[in-house]
Amino acid sequence: MTPRFPARLHVLLAADAKVGVVWRRGPSKQVACVLWDRAKDTFELGQWLKGRVYERRSDLSPDGRHLVYFAMDGKWQGEMKGSWTAVSRAPYLKALAIYRKGDCWHGGGLWTGDRSYWINDGYGHEEVRTAQRLSRDRAWHPSLYWGGEDTGVYYPRLQRDGWRYIGHRNIGPMNSISTFEKPAPRGWTLRKIAHEEVSDKPGKGCYWDEHELARGDVVLKRPDWEWADLDGSKLAWAEKGCLYRAGIDAKEGHGPPTLLHDFNGMQFERRRAPY
């Protein structure tokens, strides 16, 4: 059976290592975590979850070794009360530290160092297990409060990673956008348009992104880029279930794209973490 929509992708890039993590979602209640070796452009499957990982509430440690993420399986009478924040070894989901949540307000977190993480606590977590040599940072907090869902983690992460917040604009009832920009080579600017809405758009959720490349009066719209960032001096983006990279071109915005990986053919499989 042909899927109705391409796989949905969101990527985390390590600040101090040439690795990344790709969250691959599809169908809607199945998600895989894949390690991306950005030096060799190889991809290693970690684990799948039958449930939902809120990728915008997740983060990869600066050294690329650990994840913090928020997940929901909807088993509200289960041990984790249906949702939890966890710390794991990338690209696996088996928890080293885990905090029971029980709802989908807040949750997830950010790394404040290679071994320290902040939890987006909100209405509170219940500590189930902590991890050796990793610690929860209770002193750090984002400088601004961006809300109790994805934006409360995602927007501080973008700004930490070099994106400049431009502003917020309402474009309809229960529908708004926040815009971020990052300078790119050859005078270009990469623009991220983050939607926050109650959406009935096919294949879209409450939070989704589109992108533009801008230089002076020239604006190149890229509505199908669901994730994009600079990978060194080059541009990387996710589009229709595929990950691409291209050099920055002075006239055209970017050169011919190189397909790094097509994630569309993946299917759920049970895998054990090696720890």
| pLDDT tens by residue, 92-141 | 999 999 999 999 999 999 999 999 999 999 878 999 999 999 999 999 99
H runs (alpha helix) in 110-221:
151-160
Report in angstroms the alpha-carbon separations of 142 from 118, 121, 151, 205. 9, 12, 11, 25
The DSSP letter of residue 59 is: E
Whether the Cβ atoms of residue 10 and residue 31 lie closer than 8 Å to each other: no
Inside any domain, residue 80: yes
**DSSP strand E in 61-174: where?**
66-72, 83-89, 95-100, 109-111, 116-119, 126-129, 135-136, 164-172
Give the predicted TM-score (pTM) of the model.
0.95
Environment class of 173 (CB within 10 Å of its CB; exposed 0-12, middle 13-18, buried 19+): exposed
pLDDT at 44: 98
Judged against a pLDDT cut of 80, whether residue 203 lies above it is answered with: no
Q: Which backbone phi and psi does 257 adopt, to 5 degrees?
A: -75, 145
Inside any domain, residue 274: no
Inside any domain, residue 249: yes
Inside any domain, residue 3: no
Inside any domain, residue 246: yes
Inside any domain, residue 267: no
CA-derived radius of gyration, the chain: 18
* Nearest C-alpha neighbor of 64 from the set 105, 26, 36: 36
CA dihedral sign of residues 248, 249, 251, 252: negative
Whether the Cβ atoms of residue 157 and residue 165 lie closer than 8 Å to each other: no
Cis amide linkage into residue 256, ω under 30° from 0: no
Percent of the chain with pLDDT over 70: 97
Inside any domain, residue 1: no
Q: Which backbone phi and psi does 103 adopt, to 5 degrees?
A: -155, 180
pLDDT at 9: 98
Q: What is the mean pLDDT of the chain?
A: 95
Inside any domain, residue 271: no
pLDDT at 201: 66
pLDDT at 94: 98
Segment 255-261 shows an average pLDDT of: 97
Spatial distance between the Cα atoms of 58 and 133, rounded to a whole number of angstroms: 20
Which residue(s) pair with 179 in the sheet? 167, 193
Spatial distance between the Cα atoms of 235 and 261, rounded to a whole number of angstroms: 15
Judged against a pLDDT cut of 80, whether residue 159 lies above it is answered with: yes
Spatial distance between the Cα atoms of 269 and 167, rounded to a whole number of angstroms: 42
What's the number of domains the chain is made of?
A: 1
Range of the domain at 244: 8-138+146-262
